[in-house]
Homo-oligomer: A and B are copies of this chain.
Amino acid sequence: MTQPVPFHLRDFTPYLLNRAAETTSLDFQAHYKSRYGMLRTEWRVLFHLGRYGPLTAKAICDRAGIHKTKTSRAVTALEARRFVTRRTVEADRRHTLLTLTRAGAAVFDDLSAAAERYNAQLMAQFTKEEAATLRRVLLRMAAMDAGD
């Protein structure tokens, strides 16, 4: 019972997205993995903290779409490397505010610059219109209408 016009895997968007995501992430991984021994989740958390200021773990979860256990472990690892510090919010002792240390901020500067360069180089092969369309479509698909 094969379909009349079987559709190719190349036309299945989730598959394409996964392949492209994997390829580009693996490429960029070299930066944070070899230089700083970080995992992807740790890099994401670090980026959020560096870019969007001190945040609670919950805020990172919401903005970055990372599960709270993953975030918790990433923060533990980042803290062990002395890239972030935790501080309990006295007004509501359930929250802990996360801040980058000076060392963490330096890593963020280095990596975010590398990310920007990588991104520029990656997108250089496409036209402005293609890049704009890609961004718009992906944002919509990821339901990233607000925040990140």
A64 to chain B, nearest CB (A): 8
Cross-chain contact B139 with A10 (CB below 8 angstroms): yes
Q: In the complex, what residue of chain B is closest to A127 when comparing beta carbons?
A: B133
Q: Name A's B-contacting residues (CB within 8 A).
A: 1-3, 6-25, 27-28, 44, 47-48, 51, 64-65, 105-106, 109, 112-113, 115-116, 118-119, 122-123, 125-126, 129-130, 133-144, 148
Determine whether the beta carbon of B14 is less than 8 Å from that of A141.
no
Q: Which residues of B contact A130 (CB under 8 A)?
A: 133, 136-137
Number of copies: 2
Are the CB atoms of B48 and A28 closer together than 8 Å?
A: no
> Of B27, B118, B141, which one neighbours A122 at CB under 8 angstroms?
B141
Query: A136's closest neighbor in chain B, by CB?
Result: B130
In the assembled complex, the CB of A45 is this many whole angstroms from the nearest CB of chain B, namely 12
* Residue in B9, B14, B119 whose CB lies within 8 Å of A148: B9
Task: Kindly list chain B residues whose C-beta atoms are within 8 Å of the C-beta of A18.
Answer: 21, 25
What B residues does A136 contact at CB under 8 A? 130
